[in-house]
Amino acid sequence: MPPRRAPGRPVPAVPGTAGSRPMPECTGHRFGFGVETPAGIVVGSAQPVGGCTVTNPGIEAIRPTRRQRVYDLVREAGVDVGGWADFAGGKSGASRNPRYCYEWAFAEPGKVVVLNLWHDLMKVKDGHVTQGFNLRKFAREEKKVPGRPPVVAARALRMDDDLQEAFANALPVRVIVCDGVRRDRTDPDSKPSSVKYRLLDPATWAVTAYDASTGRSVLTRGANPPRFVDQFTVIERPVTRGRVSGTTFTRSAEVRREVLERARGHCEWCGQRGFGTSNGEVYLETHHVEPLSEGGADSTRNVAALCANHHSEAHHGANRDNMRKELAKRIVARRPGPGARMARK
């Protein structure tokens, strides 16, 4: 399967930009996004100790020291690079395809997202290496700069798309760490950024925060993508039960797990993402569309994952009958979770 942004989404070849002047084997990959550090992220990778400056070993351990091709690192990270050969240079020149080799981000749909990140912009928070972004804001600012080629803002928005995809679908993120000279964003006439060294970080990263309303996001090295939980996961602990009358129903943990994975953290009624728990999990509530008490099956074809508000409405709201019919249709149709791109503001 070719990666997202296959030949149908080429990078515009803008005169005077890296997109129109490929370097040999694209080892001098150029990109230059600015980072708005979210509140709470430690500024600077060096920490003063007793009058001396000690560089964080987590960051130094991944400082690149070799000149490697983007093509090779993207392929090593798990993205299909077959589409790179689909240009005038053919298979032998695939690594130089300007449609891909100057991109900041790549994705193998449903499997992995690969991002180019500047080493000197990585920070440390609570012992973890992180990097914060607001690529939507960056793209808006780039568009306002007179004479600035539109390819820069376009790449930022495509990278934002990939961050959203990783966050919404709990995908692992592989990071190509880059070191070189970054463009001075305060100088409209400054040269494009130029990467001298790069490496593929052996550790997996995760998008640990994404604000859909603003576009602010945080990547964390070594973190796991959010796990999906429901109301029964949260209360699964030893309890002492008194004697009760009536019928009780056993709900399959496997059915619940499959339904939560299907929803990928989004309510299957309204599409909103569930809230995050204190453990970093994404919380939704599993709901039997046809109640077990009415003979409904405990199967994935009869269970929906809903936000707490719409779960309550499905039981007690004036619209509950219509919700039951519509939810049943959506499940049978196997409609994918929202996973749609969040509106940019």
Question: Are residues 151 and 276 both part of a single domain?
Answer: no
- 343 within a domain of the structure (yes/no): no
pLDDT at 7: 33
pLDDT at 92 over 50: yes
Tell me the pTM: 0.62
Q: Distance of alpha carbon 123 from its chain centroid, rounded? A: 19
Question: How many CA atoms lie less than 13 Å away from 240 in the CB half-sphere?
Answer: 0
- 70 within a domain of the structure (yes/no): yes
Task: Convert the pLDDT of each residue in 95-117 to its tens digit.
Answer: 999 999 999 999 999 899 999 99
Mean pLDDT of the chain: 78
Question: Are residues 257 and 200 both part of a single domain?
Answer: no
- 10 within a domain of the structure (yes/no): no
Residue 132's alpha-carbon distances to 125, 176, 221, 277, 340, in angstroms, are 11, 16, 12, 21, 22
**Residue 326 is part of which domain span?**
228-237+250-332
- 12 within a domain of the structure (yes/no): no
Question: Are residues 207 and 232 both part of a single domain?
Answer: no
DSSP 181-195: E---TT-TTPPPPEE
Higher pLDDT, 170 or 161: 161
d(CA 107, CA 19): 19
pLDDT at 100: 94
Token pair 């560089």 in the structure block, residue = 55
Question: What is the arithmetic mean of pLDDT over 17-32?
Answer: 40
pLDDT at 9: 35
Question: Are residues 191 and 258 both part of a single domain?
Answer: no
Question: Are residues 94 and 197 both part of a single domain?
Answer: yes
pLDDT at 156 over 90: yes
When divided into structural domains, the chain yields a total of: 2
244: three-class secondary structure by DSSP: coil
Helix count (H) and strand count (E) of the chain? Answer: 8, 15
Question: Are residues 142 and 201 both part of a single domain?
Answer: yes
Question: Are residues 153 and 302 both part of a single domain?
Answer: no
Task: Convert the pLDDT of each residue in 76-86 to its tens digit.
Answer: 999 999 999 99
Question: Are residues 202 and 285 both part of a single domain?
Answer: no
pLDDT at 243 over 70: no
150, 14 Cβ separation under 8 angstroms: yes
Per-residue pLDDT band for 247 (boundaries 50, 70, 90) equals: low
Question: Are residues 183 and 65 both part of a single domain?
Answer: yes
d(CA 263, CA 83): 30
- 173 within a domain of the structure (yes/no): yes
